[in-house]
Amino acid sequence: MCGRFVVARASAELAAELDADIVTEHPAPVSYNIAPTTQIPVAIDTMADDGTRHRRLESAKWGLVPSWAKDETVAVRAFNARSESAAAKPTFRDSVRKRRAVIPADGYYEWRTAADGSKQPHYIHPADGSLLLFAGLYAWWQRPDNSWLLSAIILTRQSPAGPLAELHDRIPVFLNHDDLTQWLNPAHPGDSELVAEFAHRAQTRAAQLQIDRVDRRVGNVRENDAQLIAPISQ
């Protein structure tokens, strides 16, 4: 999966679709060209002292910064994680076990390289306009000034045979809305088997996606408007 995606819905709409009962006061902005290290919306479940489970819609840095990191520059290298190995990697294994997240999106971009070496972007999104849900992980990192940074990554898996594989050999691990309670459950320790189960389920959602050729302006992170996802002629 390439490192660009789209969130075209405001936080109130995302909170309603994700059944979040707590919403951050500083939401990630609507964006048609999200790049790594910028702010993204994430949903996480937490347990209150009285045992009540809450779903929170937060804003996180895209790129995981584990609690033991010396500085937050590691986020540049850790915006995606392979589902096949995440549970065994020191950077991700604690998050697999107890800090799993959902990253909502309207769609994401991939590039196809032509015979002449030029790269054509494509926008991948649900054909029915529904929300995409990426399986993710999150972490908290304490800055030198004692403030806290929330960061997150997107889990990926091998692309199933077909049009998606022709664009890239990896896709995000897609979740269905009915998966959220199980995936986000902070009381259920995660492991490689749990991740593999959800990675396998992602094939169903992948089959429902539409691929549109879009404007090459997507390649410039400073470009950010709704016309970026408008289909263009072949």
Which residues are catalytic, by number?
2, 110
* Dihedral angle of Cα 195, 140, 180, 225, to the nearest 10 degrees: -110
E strands in 63-208:
80-82, 100-105, 107-113, 119-126, 132-142, 148-158, 170-172
The answer to whether the beta carbons of residues 174 and 104 sit under 8 Å apart is: no
Distance from C-alpha of 33 to C-alpha of 7, rounded to nearest angstrom: 8
Cβ atoms of 44 and 55 within 8 Å: the answer is yes
Separation CA 78–CA 170 (nearest Å)? 15
